[in-house]
Structure 1
Amino acid sequence: MRNIPHVLVVAGSDSSGGAGIVRDIETLAAFGVKASVAITAVTVQTHHGVQGVDAVAPERVAQQMRAALSANPIAAVKIGMLATPATIAAVAQILVDHPDIPVVLDPVLVSTSGRALLTPDATDALRDLFRACTLVTPNLPELSVLAASTVASSPDSVAGQARSLLMAGAKAVLVKGGHAGGVEAIDLLVQPEHADQSFASPRLAASMRGTGCMLASAIAARLAFGDPLAAAIARAKAFVHGKFRET
């Protein structure tokens, strides 16, 4: 087992199994990667909505991360729901001590049903966390909040908002295009001193919860195997598209 890459998932639970850490573990298993976990919050959810959220104490989150990092060969970290500024700060402190491990941050702000999963005072702390992450993967509404702007409606405005996150400290930003229109779902990778890169797949008439969790975990899985960032994104997006085709 110690020869198999491990990904440490730092995220909240979802009692319905449609998103959160359950979706992360399923995705990592599909890529042949072992999962270690640090639970940040316990949520009460159905497929139709969030009924309750209890954040785990920040120090307990940090303790879980330390235990996972000492027990297993962690080759990548995937971060999802963080809930509070104190939890974000606790996670950031652990990551500072492990700068060589790639980190994928899915900035979970709200649930699919619209329930806030990050306290309103935590946005600045989340931006500060960018500096410790290899990749940040916002969807269009999340991007607008993080960029303190309206939801981008054109390719140029998407790229501009993504670059504002680079200026805030992000090393790379993958903007997910699932909320946009068009016959293709186009994700945009923006990096300093690199040409912007698009990843497109046909838009299917299907819906599925937890796709952001799935994509970020799939990217982390491929980074754990040593893939370059763009190659990891391409394989992850193909995986998510295949799951859509199965629904």
Structure 2
Amino acid sequence: MNLMPHVLAVAGSDSSGGAGIVRDIETLAAFGVKASVAITAVTVQTHLGVEHADPVAPDRVAQQMRAALSANPIAAIKIGMLATSATIFAVAAVLADHPGIPVVLDPVLVSTSGRALLAPDATVPLLELVSSCTLVTPNLPELSVLAASPGSVSSQARSLLTAGARAVLVKGGHGDGVESTDILFRVGHADQSFASPRLAATMRGTGCMLASAIAARLASGDPLSTSVAKAKAFVHGKLRQT
């Protein structure tokens, strides 16, 4: 079992099983990848909304990550809910000791129901964290917050590249039109679009699912663009089944 690629999922719990670490584990298993976990927050939530969230102590988050990294052949790291600036700093310190591992950051700012899942003072530290990541996967509202400036999707995404991100995948699920188009922005590469028919179906945890699927494919050796394409197809297939 330890010879299988492992992905370390750093994220919050979800008692309803609709998002967070549960979605991460389900997705990694679907791609034949073993999951290790570091819980950043314990939440009380249903499919209607988040009722309560307790951040895990930052030192404990870092200890979980280091334990997983020492115990298993971690080939990629997926990061979701971080909750506080102190946790972001703790996670960044661990990543600094493992610079060769691909990292996918899903910048979780609010829940689907609208509850804030990141402390107000943590946005700037989160933006600083992007320089430690292989890929950042904001949706359109998250992109606007992180870019902190008006403008086109392209200009906002490129502001994150200027801030140190190596690659930014802007998810188009919050857009409109007959297609849902995600766009991959990378330094030194042409922009790459990944389109699929827009579906009326909704599902919680699709951001977790997409980031985990990309991490799974990176852990298995796929290049970034191939990982994104396979992950988007996987999420689209799950949406079609709802």
TM-score range, shorter chain: over 0.9
Letter in 2 for 1:79: I
State the alpha-carbon separation in 2 of the partners of residues 191 and 122 from structure 1.
25
Show the 5 A alignment for 1:106-185: 106-150=106-150, 157-185=152-180
Q: How many residues get paired? A: 242
Letter in 2 for 1:30: A
What TM-score results when the alignment is normalised by the length of structure 1? 0.97
Which position in structure 2 is the counterpart of 1:10? 10
Structure 1 residue 149: Cα displacement: 2.9
Letter in 2 for 1:189: L
Letter in 2 for 1:57: A
SS of aligned partner of 1:98 = coil
SS of aligned partner of 1:179 = coil
Which position in structure 1 is the counterpart of 2:80? 80
Structure 1 residue 3: Cα displacement: 1.1
State the alpha-carbon separation in 1 of the partners of residues 161 and 119 from structure 2.
23
Letter in 2 for 1:24: D
Listed one character per residue, the Cα deviations across residues 64-116 of structure 1 (whole Å, up to 9, x for unaligned) are 00000000000000000000000000000000000000000000000000000
State the alpha-carbon separation in 2 of the partners of residues 193 and 33 from structure 1.
30
SS of aligned partner of 1:236 = helix
Structure 1 residue 2: Cα displacement: 1.4
Report runs of 4+ in structure 1 exceeding 3 Å deviation.
none
Is 1:38 paired with 2:38?
yes
What TM-score results when the alignment is normalised by the length of structure 2? 0.99
Show the 5 A alignment for 1:84-95: 84-95=84-95
State the alpha-carbon separation in 2 of the partners of residues 159 and 132 from structure 1.
21
Gaps of 5+ in 2: none
SS of aligned partner of 1:112 = coil
Gaps of 5+ in 1: none
State the alpha-carbon separation in 1 of the partners of residues 236 and 203 from structure 2.
11
Which position in structure 2 is the counterpart of 1:242? 237
State the alpha-carbon separation in 2 of the partners of residues 75 and 134 from structure 1.
13
Output the aligned Cα RMSD.
0.7
